[in-house]
Amino acid sequence: MNSPHHPHHSHHPSGSDHSSRTGPPAYPTGAAAPPPSYPDETIPPAPPGPGGAARRENGHGRRGRVHLARRQRGADATAVGQLLLHLPSLLVSLAIVAVLSYALLPVMEWLGILLWLASGAMAFHRPTERALARHLLNLRHPTPQERARLEPLWTEVAARTGVEGRAYELWIEDSDRINALAAAGHIVGVTRFALERLSDGQLVAVLAHELGHHVHGHTWSSLLGQWYAFPGRLAWAAARRLVRLAAVLGHGRTGGWKVLLLLVVGGFVLMTALSYWFVVLALVVAPYLLAAVARRAELRADHHAAVSGFAPMLAEVLQMMHAEEQDSGQVAASALSGCGETTVVGRGATARGRRPSLSGKLLSSHPDYHTRLHHLAPYLERR
């Protein structure tokens, strides 16, 4: 993962009133939180339809009976596509694991392969997920005040779509950007900056987007793909380091040594490419296809938030992030949403006034803001 840039200010569109944001409720730490109360214009009533979320009473935010959906999560076409596109990397990793298992366990080489294949289940082991959240994603548990603000909003989001919200864990990223992420099998994180600057309705829309990634299987499919591709990536990184080391050792020596080294390395690469050209071609093309599928996944997560009734607030957040990046001279790879991580915004950036290159656009994991707002337009018109 690339580390995000951190602007120190945010812009609010004219349609959102920052002063009307409901802050953390004032009650002693450890006491039970009172039922959330949202103004009607902040969080709209639950839309009718299957899945039946929260039933409001007397015009307040008190929830009535919550109906859980039969299917809590699944795998849409984008999740399946991610798994299929990771297949070439998986085959390369499998070959590497098989060679290492044969070298270390010549009699029981199959045991090493089976252990590696079974290791993917560790990605959904709660303690492993928490370790990934802390050490790879730089997340932390929310403070009591942050939890008091987040949990009622998360309950609202889960109720809208009939999802068991207690199955997921809320985390905080100490970042000065408006962003959020869904990772692994049960992690939903928001930045401290987003928690401080967004209104209740806007924050609910962001959480609904991230829940969409979990419900549609985007996070677990991405996590498994990256998990099983890791041996191949590690071998590729080791090969590059060896080539650099050989170049350093050959520096300052006779030209014949450099030519010989180049011929040996080049010949080996060429023979491998010709023998396994279909794998090489798949590995070259896969990043572009994976980026296209990831962009589609972001639109699917936006759709999940929009059908839950949060399209206007999601559009406000997208406009805020767009204005924020323009002011800070950044052009994001672009979107709401590592190890199975899907973020609200992409984390690439270019200098002020420079447009991203064609390859940068093709490798972007998120659609641009105009594309996302265009897909939200039907829900805004309907509202």
pLDDT of residue 101: 86
**How far apart, in whole angstroms, are the C-alpha atoms of residue 21 and residue 91?**
50
* pLDDT one-digit tens code per residue, 62-103: 444 557 877 788 889 999 999 888 888 888 888 888 888 888
Q: Which strands form 342-343's sheet, in the order they lie side by side?
A: 139-140, 169-173, 187-191, 180-183, 342-343
Statement: residue 373 has pLDDT above 80: yes
pTM of the model: 0.73
What the block records as the tokens of 169 is 């864990």
pLDDT of residue 293: 93
Burial code (b: 16+ CB inside 10 Å, e: under 16) for 236-271 equals: eeeeeeeeeebeeebeeeeeeeeeebeeeeeeeeee
Distance of alpha carbon 88 from its chain centroid, rounded? 22
Statement: residue 31 has pLDDT above 50: no
C-alpha distances in Å from residue 169, one per residue of 33, 72, 73, 154: 18, 15, 16, 10
* pLDDT one-digit tens code per residue, 244-291: 776 666 565 555 666 676 667 667 666 766 666 666 676 778 889 889
Greater confidence (283 vs 112) lies with 112
How much is the average pLDDT of 181-194?
93
How much is the average pLDDT of 11-34?
39
